[in-house]
């Protein structure tokens, strides 16, 4: 379990109302998927109640306190366990549920169940505000206590679970702060600016712990250290006068100084412990890794992206509320005008027939003739009233009611609105979680990033493949289809660019690759048929695209194609030089081979 206090507003003026709306609403703008509990009178009045209590303290500047408790991906605590964690965290912070107003909101719309806690720092009875200093440490210790109580897996933080005399105890993890600070500046910058886990952070996790466990054994050898790192796809090499940790098969990645991972991994410490440096055995060098380092997104960036998406969808909802209110006012005004006109038309018709009856009454006709005239007049009156009712009903029916929230979002998505597409993706994601997902077709041809995330499709207006292309948004899933001559060529499904056909034209594949490069960056993964993977590698090389592959086999193939391309270029250059140096031949003599034919316009030469 992890507990996090999100960054507060820079002006220190958090708002109860906006925060409560954020934590208690799902992606579709409603609260039906969120489990909540509060000691206020109701969720609707909670913000006003909290403000009223906070106003009792003249000294408090920002009474709002918000933190999040998150469980690991495979852990599914029930509602009682989640709320128990919330109450324990409040007690640890000195803001018990008896004296402070709070709201708990359970979110199960992501891979990690998490609880949002909003609490008023001002005490209900004393009117004094609690200042939760060192809240990160207090919450982390509370998380370890809950992990012990419920048998959940232990997370890494300022506090750790240790064995003391056969008993499990909670102690400060002194190495945690040092390890955080010991990360190279380049690694910290990488995580801060790209949101991708650095090699230093990866090596500092399970690989470091496993190696230190091995070094605790009296019989430890260099091969034990090499084998332990190899299981994580890492290896030790001599670099300068010291040692560095490398990713196996990825010399393009900057290695990490071994002593920065842990002081015991420095060359001096290891040689003193294990003897002079020994290279790993061949069986270790060629062994397969149980896990490996990939440039995956760190949790902080996922949280930031999720919060940004929530703000964007909240702004979209506000836009809809404004448009809906304006449309409702215009509809009410138009209906009132039509209602007034219809009433006048009805009264005019009745008045006209009343005068007709009076004329019949004063006409001096015989009784039989007058009765017949009355009958005809009544028939005409009924016929005209029926015709008038049908006409007026048709006019009322023609009024366009204001669009529902779903209809309005679909309309905006068809126009390429980024927030509307994100909202459709949120609805589709929630639907998939509520029902068993359909079996996905196997071996679909698709290009993805190096980390699976529920990324939204790129807004079509921002995509760089728009020239000579058209697009349409699927209003059910939020996916964006790209079309050529009214036929779908590929689809941006957010986390992947998908090609439905193995026979995609080269220009279509190039457009899809450029879109993937724009979405996922220079490192991608390609799955599907072997023909599709081979053609993708060829296209990347022939078009000199700044792309590499996460799949080791496909990356090796790309490098082979580059080598072959260089060999052909060198051979052509040598051929041209020899041709220039050779004496001119007569037309009757042998001819030199002509220049290589140009590649087919359908794609790279195979």
3-class DSSP string for 44-69: HHHHHHHHHHHCCCCCCCCCEEEEEE
Instruction: Supply the pLDDT for residue 434.
Output: 58
Percent of the chain with pLDDT over 90: 15
Tokens of 482: 């790209």
Is residue 594's pLDDT more than 70? no
Is residue 13's pLDDT more than 60? no
CA distance 297 to 395: 57
Tokens of 199: 């090699």
Which pLDDT band holds residue 411 (cuts at 50, 70, 90)? confident
Which pLDDT band holds residue 101 (cuts at 50, 70, 90)? very high
Q: DSSP alpha helices (H): ranges in 68-131?
A: 79-93
Q: Which region among 40-44, 48-52, 156-160, 228-232 has the lowest average model confidence (pLDDT)?
A: 156-160
Q: Which residue has the higher pLDDT, 74 or 300?
A: 74
Is residue 172's pLDDT more than 70? yes
Is residue 296's pLDDT more than 70? no
Which pLDDT band holds residue 606 (cuts at 50, 70, 90)? very low
Q: Which residue has the higher pLDDT, 164 or 435?
A: 164
Residue 297 — φ and ψ, nearest 5°? -75, 145
Instruction: Supply the pLDDT for residue 295.
Output: 54
Beta bridge partners of 496: 448
Q: Which residue has the higher pLDDT, 440 or 92?
A: 92
What is the signed CA dihedral for 427, 428, 431, 433, rounded to 10 degrees?
A: -110
Q: Which residue has the higher pLDDT, 519 or 178?
A: 519
Mean pLDDT of 498-514: 83
Residue 237 — φ and ψ, nearest 5°? -140, 155
* 3 state DSSP class of 485: coil
CA distance 149 to 158: 19
Digit-coded pLDDT (tens) for 562-575: 888 888 888 877 77
Digit-coded pLDDT (tens) for 371-390: 888 888 888 888 999 999 99
Instruction: Supply the pLDDT for residue 306.
Output: 66
Which pLDDT band holds residue 82 (cuts at 50, 70, 90)? very high
Q: What pTM, to 2 d.p., does this model score? A: 0.43
Q: What is the residue whose two structure tokens read 């913000």?
A: 47
Mean predicted lDDT score pLDDT of the chain: 81
Angle formed by the axes of helices 222-231 and 206-215, to 10°?
160
Is residue 142's pLDDT more than 90? yes
Is residue 424's pLDDT more than 60? yes
Residue 277 — φ and ψ, nearest 5°? -55, 135
CB 120 within 8 Å of CB 100 = yes
- 2-172 under CATH 3.90.280.10, yes or no: no
Mean pLDDT of 179-206: 62
Domain range annotation of the chain: 2-172, 180-296, 310-402, 406-563
CA distance 553 to 542: 19
Question: Which helix (DSSP H) or strand (DSSP E) does residue 459 occupy?
Answer: none
CB 456 within 8 Å of CB 520 = no
Tokens of 246: 């490398």
Q: What is the residue whose two structure tokens read 């009024």?
A: 399
Q: Which region among 14-23, 188-197, 237-246, 483-492 has the lowest average model confidence (pLDDT)?
A: 188-197
CA distance 37 to 106: 9
CA dihedral sign, ordered 161, 148, 180, 190: positive
Q: Which residue has the higher pLDDT, 86 or 476?
A: 86
CA distance 215 to 364: 126
Angle formed by the axes of helices 267-274 and 222-231, to 10°?
130
Please return the burial class of 554, using the count of CB atoms within 10 Å of its CB with bins 0-12, 13-18 and 19+: buried
Mean pLDDT of 414-436: 75
CA distance 317 to 554: 44
Instruction: Supply the pLDDT for residue 599.
Output: 44
Which pLDDT band holds residue 586 (cuts at 50, 70, 90)? very low
Instruction: Supply the pLDDT for residue 583.
Output: 62
Q: Which residue has the higher pLDDT, 38 or 453?
A: 38
Which residues have C-beta within 8 Å of that of residue 51, sequence separation ≥ 6?
A: 16
Q: Which region among 336-340, 516-520, 532-536 has the lowest average model confidence (pLDDT)?
A: 516-520
Mean pLDDT of 467-489: 84
> Which is nearest to 548 in space by CA: 524, 578, 515?
524
End-to-end CA distance of the chain: 53
CA-based R_g, the chain, Å: 36
Q: What angle do CA 139, 192, 547 make, to 5 degrees?
A: 135
Mean pLDDT of 190-209: 70
Helices (H) and strands (E) in the chain, counts: 19, 17
CA distance 335 to 105: 42
Tokens of 483: 């079309």
Which pLDDT band holds residue 221 (cuts at 50, 70, 90)? very high
Instruction: Supply the pLDDT for residue 100.
Output: 92
CB 430 within 8 Å of CB 27 = yes
CB 259 within 8 Å of CB 178 = no
Question: Which helix (DSSP H) or strand (DSSP E) does residue 206 occupy?
Answer: helix 206-215
Is residue 182's pLDDT more than 80? no
Supply the DSSP symbol for 129.
B
Is residue 488's pLDDT more than 80? yes
Beta bridge partners of 236: 245
Percent of the chain with pLDDT over 70: 83
Is residue 243's pLDDT more than 90? yes
């Amino acid at each position: 379990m992890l507990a996090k206090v999100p960054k507060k507003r820079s002006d220190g003026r958090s708002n109860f109302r906006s925060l409560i709306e954020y934590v208690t609403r799902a992606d579709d703008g409603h609260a039906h998927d969120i489990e909540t509990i509060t000691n206020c009178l109701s969720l609707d009045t909670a913000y006003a109640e909290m403000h009223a209590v906070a106003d009792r303290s003249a000294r408090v500047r920002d009474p709002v306190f918000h933190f999040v408790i998150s469980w690991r991906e495979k852990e599914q605590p029930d509602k009682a366990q989640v709320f128990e964690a919330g109450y324990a965290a409040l007690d640890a912070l000195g803001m018990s549920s008896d004296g402070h107003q709070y709201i708990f909101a359970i979110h199960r719309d992501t891979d990690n169940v998490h609880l949002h806690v909003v609490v008023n720092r001002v005490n209900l009875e004393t009117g004094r505000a609690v200042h939760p200093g060192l809240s990160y440490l207090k919450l982390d210790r509370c998380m370890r206590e809950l992990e012990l109580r419920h048998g959940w897996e232990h997370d890494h933080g300022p506090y750790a679970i240790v064995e003391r005399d056969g008993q499990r105890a909670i102690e400060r993890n002194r190495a945690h702060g040092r390890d955080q600070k010991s990360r190279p500046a380049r690694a910290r910058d990488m995580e801060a600016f790209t949101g991708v886990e650095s090699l230093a952070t990866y090596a500092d996790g399970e690989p470091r712990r496993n190696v230190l466990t091995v070094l605790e054994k009296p019989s430890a050898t260099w091969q034990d250290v090499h084998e332990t790192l190899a299981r994580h796809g890492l290896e030790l090499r001599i670099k300068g006068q010291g040692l560095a940790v490398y990713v196996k098969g990825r010399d393009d990645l900057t290695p990490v100084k071994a002593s920065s991972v842990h002081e015991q991994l420095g060359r001096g410490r290891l040689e003193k412990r294990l003897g002079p440096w020994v290279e790993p055995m061949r069986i270790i060098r060629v062994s397969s890794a149980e896990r490996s380092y990939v440039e995956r997104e760190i949790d902080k960036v996922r949280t930031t992206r999720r919060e940004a998406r929530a703000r964007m969808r909240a702004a979209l909802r506000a836009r809809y509320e404004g448009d809906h209110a304006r449309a409702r006012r215009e509809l009410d005004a138009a209906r009132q005008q039509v209602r007034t006109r219809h009433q006048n038309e009805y009264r005019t018709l009745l008045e006209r027939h009343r005068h007709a009856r009076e004329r019949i009454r004063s006409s001096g006709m015989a009784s039989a003739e007058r009765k017949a005239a009355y009958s005809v007049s009544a028939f005409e009156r009924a016929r005209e009233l029926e015709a008038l009712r049908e006409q007026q009903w048709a006019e009322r029916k023609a009024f366009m009611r204001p669009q529902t929230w779903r209809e309005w979002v679909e309309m905006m998505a068809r126009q390429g609105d980024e927030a509307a597409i994100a909202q459709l993706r949120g609805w589709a994601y929630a639907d998939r979680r509520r029902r068993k997902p359909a079996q996905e077709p196997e071996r679909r041809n698709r290009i993805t990033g190096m980390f699976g995330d529920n990324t939204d499709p790129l807004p079509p207006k921002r995509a760089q493949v728009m020239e000579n292309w058209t697009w349409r948004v699927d209003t059910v899933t939020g996916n964006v289809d790209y079309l050529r001559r009214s036929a779908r060529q590929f689809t941006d499904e957010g986390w992947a660019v998908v090609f439905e056909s193995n026979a995609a034209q080269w220009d279509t594949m190039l457009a899809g690759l450029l879109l993937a490069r724009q979405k996922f960056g220079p490192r991608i993964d390609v799955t599907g048929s072997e023909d599709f993977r081979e053609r993708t590698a060829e296209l990347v090389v022939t078009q000199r695209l700044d792309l590499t592959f996460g799949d080791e086999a496909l990356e090796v193939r790309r490098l082979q194609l580059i080598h072959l391309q260089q060999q052909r270029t060198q051979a052509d250059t040598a051929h041209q030089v020899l041709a220039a140096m050779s004496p001119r031949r007569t037309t009757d003599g042998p001819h030199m081979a002509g220049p290589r034919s140009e590649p087919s316009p359908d794609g790279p030469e195979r």
